[in-house]
Chains A and B, each alone.
Chain A
Amino acid sequence: GAVVSQHPSWVICKSGTSVKIECRSLDFQATTMFWYRQFPKQSLMLMATSNEGSKATYEQGVEKDKFLINHASLTLSTLTVTSAHPEDSSFYICSAAGGTSAYNEQFFGPGTRLTVL
Chain B
Amino acid sequence: AQSVTQLGSHVSVSEGALVLLRCNYSSSVPPYLFWYVQYPNQGLQLLLKYTSAATLVKGINGFEAEFKKSETSFHLTKPSAHMSDAAEYFCAVTISGGYNKLIFGAGTRLAVHP
- Among A43, A101, A111, contact of B105 (Cβ-Cβ < 8 Å): A43
Minimum Cβ distance to chain B for residue A12 (Å): 15
How far is B42's CA from A108's CA once the two chains are assembled, in angstroms?
Answer: 10
Tier of interface size on chain A = 20 to 34
Judge whether B102 and A93 touch: CB under 8 Å. no
How far is B94's CA from A95's CA once the two chains are assembled, in angstroms?
Answer: 14
Q: Answer whether residue B82 sits at the interface, using C-beta atoms and an 8 A cutoff.
A: no
Tier of interface size on chain B = 20 to 34
- What residues of B have a CB within 8 angstroms of the CB of A111 in the complex? 41-43
Q: Answer whether residue B49 sits at the interface, using C-beta atoms and an 8 A cutoff.
A: yes
- Among B44, B107, B109, contact of A93 (Cβ-Cβ < 8 Å): B44
- What residues of B have a CB within 8 angstroms of the CB of A101 in the complex? 99
- Among B34, B100, B104, B109, contact of A44 (Cβ-Cβ < 8 Å): B104
- What residues of B have a CB within 8 angstroms of the CB of A41 in the complex? 109
Footprint of B on A, CB under 8 Å?
Answer: 1, 4, 6, 31-32, 34, 41-44, 46, 49, 91, 93, 95, 97-98, 101, 103-106, 108-111, 113
Judge whether B102 and A46 touch: CB under 8 Å. yes
Judge whether A49 and B101 touch: CB under 8 Å. yes
How far is B45's CA from A32's CA once the two chains are assembled, in angstroms?
Answer: 18
Judge whether B100 and A104 touch: CB under 8 Å. yes
Closest Cβ neighbor of A46 among chain B residues? B101
Footprint of A on B, CB under 8 Å?
Answer: 32, 34, 36, 41-46, 49, 51, 90, 94-96, 98-102, 104-107, 109
Q: Which 5 A-B pairs have the closest CB atoms?
A: A108-B43, A103-B51, A97-B99, A108-B44, A110-B43
- What residues of B have a CB within 8 angstroms of the CB of A95 in the complex? 44
User: If A43-B106, A44-B90 touch, does A1 touch B46 (CB 8 Å cutoff)?
Assistant: yes
Judge whether A103 and B43 touch: CB under 8 Å. no
Of A93, A101, A106, A111, the most chain B CB neighbours within 10 A belong to: A106
Q: 30 A-B pairs, CB-CB below 8 angstroms?
A: A1-B46, A4-B43, A31-B99, A34-B102, A41-B109, A42-B106, A42-B107, A43-B90, A43-B104, A43-B107, A44-B90, A44-B104, A49-B101, A91-B41, A95-B44, A98-B99, A103-B49, A104-B96, A104-B99, A104-B100, A105-B34, A105-B49, A106-B99, A106-B102, A108-B43, A108-B45, A109-B43, A110-B42, A110-B43, A111-B42
